Amino acid sequence: MPATNKKGTSAVWAGEGDLNVKGAVTSPIANSVAFSYTDLDEWHQVATGKSDGFIYSRNTNPTVAVLEEKIRVLEGAEAATAFSTGMAAISNTLFTFLTAGKRVVSLKDTYGGTSKIFLDFLPHYNVSAHLCDTTHHEEIEAEVAKGCDLLYLETPTNPTLKIVDIKRLAAAAKKAGALVVVDNTFATPINQNPLQLGADLVIHSATKFLCGHSDAMGGLLAGKKELVQKVFHFREINGASLQAEPAYMIARGMKTLELRIERQNASALTIARYLKAHPKVKDVFYPGLETHQGHEIAKSQMSGFGGMMSFALDGGYDLVEKFLPKLTLVHLAASLGSVSTLAGPPRTTSHVELTEAQRRLLGIPESLIRYSVGIENVEDLLGDLERALAGI
C-alpha cells in the first residue's frame, strides 16, 4: 500500500493487491474453502504458522484478509480479525477473556444483544457482570476499582447517544489491571479511534456504517496483536467466521466510508439543529448539539459527531404512530448506518424486549424516534421531516 496517514486513502488501498491476480484493480472474491499446495513442506510450514498463506476458510481467507487489513489500518491497530456478525465479534471477545470467576464492568446502555450476554449468558459461566449508569463516570471508576478483569464500553450509545469518556475510564481500568474493549460501531473509525484513547480492543458491527449499504453482515475486532490472536483462536475453533462474499461487500463499502461519514456528520448536525428548534419536538439527542450532556467529551474524543440521532415528539406513542408513516424518505426498519435514511421507535426496534417502565429507567421516552441519517440530499430530508411534522 502507498505510504499515507490519511484515512480516506487507506480505506481504498489498504489490503488491496495482496491477492496474486495479475493486474486486478480490485481484490476478487476468493470463494474457496481450501487452498492447495504442490509442495508438502510448504503446506506444513503454512499449516503450522511458520510462513504466510491460507489453508482453510474457517481460519483465514484472502478476501477476508483484505477487509481485516482495512480496519487494522483505519483503527491504527497491530492486528485485526473478522466475524460473521457484530454480535459474533462481541460474544467471541467476551467469552475469550471472561473465564469462570472473572468480573466485567459495563454500561446499562450497551447494544441490546451485548446486554443480553452480560445478563442472561455470562452468569451461567460464573462470570459476574456489573452494569453502571452509563454517564456516571464516578460510579464506573468505583466499580472498576473494586476488582475488574474487563471494562466494556460503547460510545455514543443506542438510542439516546450518551457519551462516555474513553480516556478517563481506560486510565481507571489500567490501574485495576483490566482490559478495555470499546464498541465503536456508532462513531466509525473516521470519527473516533478508541485505541488511541487507551482501549486495548475495538469492536465494530461491520453490518452498519462500514458496509454502509444494508446488504451484508459482519463483525470486526482490532487491537493489540497478542489479544486479537487469542480471540482469533477462539473464533476459528467455534466457527463464527466471515465468508468471502460478505467480506468483499463490506470492503467495497469501506472504500466510500470517509465520503459517507463526512456527509452524514454534516447532514445529521443540520437536521439536529432544525429539530431542536421545532415546536412539536420535545427533545433531540445528538452529541453535536452544544446542549447535549456529553457534548464536551464528544468534542474531545470525536472528530465528527456521526450520522445517528434520536428525537422525542411532544406527546406519546400515539403521535409516533401518526408521524412515522408520513415520512417518505426513510425505511421504517431496524438497523442503521446505511446510504438510505432509516428510522424507528426503540419500543419496536432496539428496546422491544423491555417494558415501558424499564425504558423509562434508561431515559427512553415512548415518543422517541431513532433516526439514522443516510447520504440523501439534506434539503430533501429536511423537507420530508417538515411535511411530516406539519401533518401531526
Ligand X SMILES: *Cc1c(COP(=O)(O)O)cnc(C)c1O
Burial of 167 (0-12, 13-18, 19+ CB in 10 A): middle
Give min distance, CB of 65 to ligand X, in A.
20
Q: Is 41 a catalytic residue?
A: no
Q: Which is nearer to ligand X, 46 or 153 (CB)?
A: 153
Q: Is 111 a catalytic residue?
A: yes
Give min distance, CB of 45 to ligand X, in A.
35
From the candidates 102, 111, 286, 347, which is the catalytic residue? 111
Q: Is 260 a catalytic residue?
A: no
Q: Which is nearer to ligand X, 252 or 389 (CB)?
A: 252
Cell of 316: 406519546
From the candidates 7, 70, 162, 208, which is the catalytic residue? 208
Q: Which is nearer to ligand X, 122 or 319 (CB)?
A: 122
Give min distance, CB of 158 to ligand X, in A.
6
3-state secondary structure the chain: CCCCCCHHHHHHHCCCCCCCCCCCCCCCCCCCCECCCCCHHHHHHHHCCCCCCCCECCCCCHHHHHHHHHHHHHCCCCEEEEECCHHHHHHHHHHHHCCCCCEEEEECCCCHHHHHHHHHHHHHHCCEEEEECCCCHHHHHHHHHCCCCEEEEECCCCCCCCCCCHHHHHHHHHHHCCEEEEECCCCHHHHCCHHHHCCCEEEEECCCCCCCCCCCCCEEEEECHHHHHHHHHHHHHHCCCCCHHHHHHHHHHHCCHHHHHHHHHHHHHHHHHHHHCCCCEEEEECCCCCCCCCHHHHHHHCCCCCCEEEEEECCCHHHHHHHHHHCCCCEECCCCCCCCCEEECCCCCCCCCCCHHHHHHCCCCCCEEEEECCCCCHHHHHHHHHHHHHCC
The footprint of ligand X (CB under 6 A) covers 85-87, 111, 113, 154, 158, 183, 185-186, 205, 207-208, 217, 219
Give min distance, CB of 245 to ligand X, in A.
16
Q: Is 317 a catalytic residue?
A: no
From the candidates 183, 235, 248, 286, which is the catalytic residue? 183
From the candidates 58, 174, 224, 280, which is the catalytic residue? 58
Q: Which is nearer to ligand X, 15 or 86 (CB)?
A: 86
Give min distance, CB of 183 to ligand X, in A.
5
Give min distance, CB of 309 to ligand X, in A.
14
Q: Which is nearer to ligand X, 81 or 205 (CB)?
A: 205
Q: Which is nearer to ligand X, 114 or 319 (CB)?
A: 114
Question: Which residue number places its CB atom closest to ligand X?
Answer: 86
Residues forming the active site: 58, 111, 183, 208
